[in-house]
Amino acid sequence: MRVSRNRSSVFALCALAVLAAPCGFAEPANNWHEDAFFGLHYDLHPGATDTELGRESTYDHIRAMLEKVKPDFVQYDCKGHPGYSGYPTKVGAPSPGIVGDALKVWREVTRDMGIPLSIHFSGVWDSRAIELHPEWARINAQGKPDPNYTSRLSAYDDEYMIPQLLEVVREYDIDGMWIDGENWASQPDWSEACQKAFTEKTGIAEIPRKADDPHWHEWLAFQRELFVNHVTRYVDAVHALKPTCMVTSNWMYSVRMPEAVVSPIDYLSGDFDPSFGAERAMAEGRFISSRGKPWDLMAWAFLQTGNQGWTMKNAEHLCQELSTVLAQGGSVFIYDNPHRSGRLTEWHQDILADVAKFCRQRQEYCHKSETIPQVAILHSETAYYLHNDPLFNFAQANRAMEGALHAVLENGLSADILNEDTLLKRLSEYPVVIIPEAVEVSDAVRQALPGYVENGGRLLLTGAQVAEQYGAVSGVEKRGKPEEGGWLPVGGEAVNVSGPYQAVTLKDAEALALMLNEREPALNARADFPAATRRRVGRGAVVAVHGPVFRCYYESHYPALRRFIGEMVAALNPAPMARVDGPWWVEMAARKKDGRTLIQLVNRSVGGYLSPSRHMAESVPDTGPFTVTVPLAEKPARVFLAPDDKGLDWSWDGGLLTAKIGGLGIHNALVIEPGAPGS
């Protein structure tokens, strides 16, 4: 009953804000998404060949299925990537297969249950709109129209997309919009309108066509700005009609779009990969949670291996994927496919109910928690946009950053991912900062680093560009041309790494590790080629690895390379931080909420094994005992594990809490309640 009242209160706040808002004037509205914790998403991308849309979308069936799971909110199908709508639209292109208005039924059910209803709506990607209006197509570099992706300077937004969004609000009084097929579906547009607007804005008359043409990056920046304007226009239009209709654009301001937030979307959201989704969630959760907006991430309830059919995941798999989101304070939701008739698969809902129960048990200890700054990893928007796949897709531009994240977590530490703007605002809060192979950063970031280190900060720089870009702060000077890798010493062993690695001359730095020309450290060290260096500066220190060690780790996950990176962090001699001493697959996040320290613990292991043809985590074996240490100035009043009692023996001495934990299932939190000062 408690859950039902919470869901109703969220919906009631939304309704009251609509009643209070003057007609036609969009005042700041209560954001129901701030308190919505667990949601469900159902879409089926209606098409031209459908014949039974809505046939089995009855009130009793939908209500019964949702009552099994008891979500805080739901998202239902409206318009998918093919461009056909699943409701009888008068503005857009209704699928010829509509036999019942499923969206109307979902609105009735959710209103009666007291929970918000959002829609899934494909934006940039609309194949049917282009069939009907070929002039709305994006034009590629060869002058050919795109059959799927619309042009941002066509009439599509103003004459079609926005009017249809407003139609749905008016006809169904929906509470939210999850706009899909957006930044990840965006590509540069060489339409006449875009070329003309670019020249008018920049004065550049010769339009670049490929990456090595002059002004290529100015062209891409212009195209990205068009996308932001596109989102801003439809969000403003929806808010003007219904201020409490919460709107987001899928994956906007996520890892793939790391610039400062300027568009007025109400929350951040994305759906991570169907297979190995927990790894995508690791980075996205840590980055999105730093952006200052409500957020959630969505797990797919199903996956596909090779060319085999899509199949439902088990509860253990879904719980593990969602746990890494919960650990970052986020909300979660799950995507399931209805039948083409609109029927929901009952046994799927039983699995989702089990997952919902798992998440609810952790809500008190996770939802809306805040980070305790430990290690900051820079995700440089400057560097990212020099090397990603235009406009917003990764290519390999995220690999070094995510390799740094994996290595830090697997060495038992807690890490956040920050863009340049956020790092500058919060630089002094983090005892350790890592800049992983960013070939270029803003002048503001570069200028802030010496003062950060002088005042006691610990800085880890990696990449062949370090000597050239950060020579003064790192205490080295570039010498000669980069070389294509070799071996790095790790204890009495070595690990092979690819390059480029840059030879350096030591100025006021010391060598931490020498490059090896073969795999025996005692015999093959190159005395003239420091692979890693350290400079002590004021009260701080700078460690530099002069090659792409984090990209190498992302691509290999070699245990010896993980140990090498751990040695580099240790060489910074940072102030004590929260740490796990145990299996590397225990993912830890240091968080806080309501005055309590919450050490989030996620077990990333699986029973059996995974492979290219085996993606399902069928079980998650207990980790066995491990230890967590947390620096605390005062002895805590109480320390316990929640929600699972796995056995705990804790002590506090000399400002350090030592917690010996009996094991870990999928997720647990070490809850630390503060004691009285001087205790």
**Is residue 30 very low, low, confident or very high in pLDDT (cuts 50, 70, 90)?**
confident
**Is residue 435 very low, low, confident or very high in pLDDT (cuts 50, 70, 90)?**
very high
Distance separating alpha carbons of residues 14 and 120, to the nearest angstrom: 19
CATH 2.60.40.1180: does it fit domain 579-673?
A: yes
Does residue 90 register a pLDDT over 70?
yes
Residues 209 and 276 sit within 8 Å (Cβ to Cβ):
no
Q: State the average pLDDT for the chain.
A: 95
Distance separating alpha carbons of residues 68 and 353, to the nearest angstrom: 6
**Is residue 74 very low, low, confident or very high in pLDDT (cuts 50, 70, 90)?**
very high
Distance separating alpha carbons of residues 597 and 371, to the nearest angstrom: 10
pTM of the model: 0.94
Does residue 338 register a pLDDT over 80?
yes
Q: What is the pLDDT of residue 19?
A: 35
Place of tokens 């870009």: 469
Q: What is the pLDDT of residue 2?
A: 32
Domain 2-269 fold is TIM Barrel (3.20.20)
Q: What is the pLDDT of residue 579?
A: 99
Closest CA to 447 of 467, 431, 466, 469: 469
| Average pLDDT, integer, range 218-245 | 98
Closest CA to 35 of 51, 20, 53, 13: 13
Q: What is the pLDDT of residue 28?
A: 52
Other Cβ atoms less than 10 A from the Cβ of 240: the count is 12
Note the pLDDT tens digit of each residue in 13-28.
344 333 333 333 334 5
Closest CA to 554 of 545, 565, 546, 543: 565
The rounded radius of gyration (Å) of the Cα atoms in the chain is: 26
Q: Which two tokens stand for residue 480?
A: 């000669």
**Is residue 638 very low, low, confident or very high in pLDDT (cuts 50, 70, 90)?**
very high
Residue 310 DSSP symbol? P
Residues 85 and 127 sit within 8 Å (Cβ to Cβ):
no
Note the pLDDT tens digit of each residue in 392-427.
999 999 999 999 999 999 999 999 999 999 999 999
Question: Is the CA virtual torsion 118, 119, 124, 125 positive or negative?
Answer: positive
Q: Which H or E run contains 601?
A: strand 596-603
Q: Which residues of 117-134 are buried (b: 16+ CB within 10 A; e: fewer)?
A: bbbbbbbbbbbbbbeebe
Closest CA to 86 of 120, 109, 115, 124: 120
CATH number for the 373-571 domain, one of 3.40.50.800, 2.40.170.20, 3.40.50.720, 3.40.50.880? 3.40.50.880
Question: Is the CA virtual torsion 58, 64, 69, 72 positive or negative?
Answer: positive
| Residue limits of CATH 3.40.50.880 in the chain | 373-571
**Is residue 676 very low, low, confident or very high in pLDDT (cuts 50, 70, 90)?**
confident
Distance separating alpha carbons of residues 552 and 163, to the nearest angstrom: 48
Residues 409 and 282 sit within 8 Å (Cβ to Cβ):
yes
Amino acid identity of residue 435, one-letter, is I
Amino acid identity of residue 226, one-letter, is L
Q: What is the pLDDT of residue 523?
A: 92
**Is residue 679 very low, low, confident or very high in pLDDT (cuts 50, 70, 90)?**
low
Note the pLDDT tens digit of each residue in 485-536.
899 999 999 999 999 999 999 999 999 999 999 999 999 999 999 999 999 9
Does residue 184 register a pLDDT over 60?
yes
Note the pLDDT tens digit of each residue in 104-159.
999 999 999 999 999 999 999 999 999 999 999 999 999 999 999 999 999 999 99
Specify the length of the chain in residues. 679
**What does residue 56 show for φ and ψ, rounded to 5 degrees?**
-110, 15
Distance separating alpha carbons of residues 493 and 31, to the nearest angstrom: 55
| Residue limits of CATH 3.20.20.80 in the chain | 2-269
